[in-house]
Structure 1
């Protein structure tokens, strides 16, 4: 095989309301200003889209996306929740957790790697982070971007590619304060936490490039996964674009996998390498919550880049759209696909990328100007 196909998603939030419908729900008490029980989010979802069976099987939430995800060679998600029974909640207003006994939900989708460099992995304190790491390790799921100390948080997840001995996929993960990660969550020598980017400077790029060179072996493909930027909006700061270009040009990454935005943002293909500035939420419990409807946060995208094993260059890219309803991923209506294609085309066109709907399959096809 001379190519590899990845399945990449933005935020996968399996806590709070989603956790409540799984076989082993956490104690539902919340510490939010206006909502005191995670069951409230289940009720809001049912009011919006109809009854949800309980308990559901571990594969339920992946719904119609499961078949497409399984066709990829590796699946990488940003896990936007801690996996813990810890009660040591951080007083930050919103705290996500999934019960450790529900980790089978990740295994059901064949997730190889959970990126943890985000603003919710320490929602239940250091104890919650440590239990998250232990639970995922026992489940055989790789992690990147958080750890028991800085060395572990900065180390890449190394996913063996088939056939055996043909190389690895290295996932380096970073969190940015621009996504709301508290500065004191940063991992340090002997201190658990997140692999936090202090800035997007040339010096930071140089340090990252050195780390990639030290970890890479012949046949490896390295990708950078970054949690950055606000939840809503299509603006891509020039600093983000410069940093992404530098990661590809100087650090040798095959692609940049950006997330934090609750909706899909524009994407770029820079020198035949993919940049996702904001992959958008893939799973959450936000159904029935008002506000920001113009961004269509209910529409989720599974990104399926096909890369050259020899060079890491992008050979093709398919975007598979889904709609979140009843806390599962469903095939979208034709109007939803058209809306998403038009919006992503509008936002990606400024980067020289065109997005169009592919007739008959419910997928979106990405092409640069002059192609097809």
Structure 2
């Protein structure tokens, strides 16, 4: 009798700061230091001009919308996202032009979806400096949410989050960021100060060394990578080389990529899988023009099945979603078809099929 697979819920960039923070129950300081916006509330106004009224003082489940029931229905073993926001009241921004923060009192955004772990290696987790990162780490710890990819020193930043699996075994979550995603080089964690895990210039050899010796028999290894720019479907050869090395040499089962604002291609590598760009799931970008060709209001939620015995890929479901009034809802049939086609723009293997209910599927 075949054991039920391990099912993971994965989501790309979850940005709960700025305008999102302003509609929650405990909005933080709205001051911004951007070139065109001085208040986070302006992003709410911009979205309302585009989509209609957005309620204020909402609870954390509002943002997840129709996705929340879908996550519950699919009986996920673990829920993992890339958190692209500092959770802090720190007042000193990094001089980088765009700075995201969510009031720690709004941590219910993550607990509402029962998130188990967050990847923190990205280009916004230190938007409010070391103080902002330390407060982010402390807030996640109090909420019982594990994290990887950032820490109070280099050793903590590069250590895996160890997530027990029901019935035995562990999932190890490692997270790294690439400087080409906009991460300032000085965010790389030194031995004695807070920072994040930044990929070195020669990432293949260094990452394989970082992974070596971590796994025990029965462990599953998932590597979160924040890499590349925000727009474009191309998958650079450097990313494919790293993904193949992690799966083929280091023994990872999943490469969990993000940074692009839209979903990108997927590649089967041996018994593993590389998700090169999971796109945005939650953000406050409604009403911001300029990239309409990518349909930036659309996103995917990923439900990944892995064999419970050896972690090999068993199947993938992707739910087509639309962000509307800062809330997730099922995408239209036409948009689901468009998302299916967009995943095949760069041929990396078999394209996912589209079921009548709007679910995209990739089978082993």
Question: Which TM-score applies when normalising by structure 1?
Answer: 0.94
Contact 1:221 1:309 in 2 (8 A): no
| Corresponding residue number in structure 1 for 2:67 | 65
| Corresponding residue number in structure 1 for 2:184 | 182
1:76-95 alignment to 2 at 5 Å? 76-95=80-99
SS at match of 1:158: strand
Q: Which moved more, 1:197-206 or 1:317-326?
A: 197-206
| Corresponding residue number in structure 2 for 1:270 | 269
Distance 2:340 2:82 in 1: 23
SS at match of 1:315: strand
| Corresponding residue number in structure 1 for 2:352 | 355
- Count of residues paired in the alignment: 360
SS at match of 1:282: strand
Long gaps (5+) in structure 1: none
SS at match of 1:364: strand
Q: Once the two structures are superposed, what CA deviation does each residue of 1:232-260 show, in whole Å capped at 9, x if it has no partner?
A: 00111101101100000111101100000
Distance 1:102 1:205 in 2: 34
| Corresponding residue number in structure 2 for 1:366 | 362
1:26-45 alignment to 2 at 5 Å? 26-45=28-47
| Corresponding residue number in structure 1 for 2:173 | 171
Distance 2:236 2:114 in 1: 34
Question: Which TM-score applies when normalising by structure 2?
Answer: 0.97
Distance 2:267 2:204 in 1: 21
Q: Once the two structures are superposed, what CA deviation does each residue of 1:70-96 show, in whole Å capped at 9, x if it has no partner?
A: 331111100000000000111111000
Distance 1:294 1:271 in 2: 33
1:28-177 alignment to 2 at 5 Å? 28-70=30-72, 71-163=75-167, 166-177=168-179
Long gaps (5+) in structure 2: none
1:206 deviates by 3.3
| Corresponding residue number in structure 2 for 1:195 | 197
1:200 deviates by 3.9
Contact 2:286 2:324 in 1 (8 A): yes
Q: Which moved more, 1:66-75 or 1:258-267?
A: 66-75
Distance 2:119 2:204 in 1: 24
Q: Once the two structures are superposed, what CA deviation does each residue of 1:17-74 show, in whole Å capped at 9, x if it has no partner?
A: 0000000001111100010110110011111111111111110000011122233111
Distance 1:357 1:2 in 2: 23
SS at match of 1:37: coil
Contact 1:345 1:356 in 2 (8 A): no
Contact 2:15 2:85 in 1 (8 A): yes
Contact 2:208 2:245 in 1 (8 A): no
SS at match of 1:351: coil
1:13-32 alignment to 2 at 5 Å? 13-32=15-34
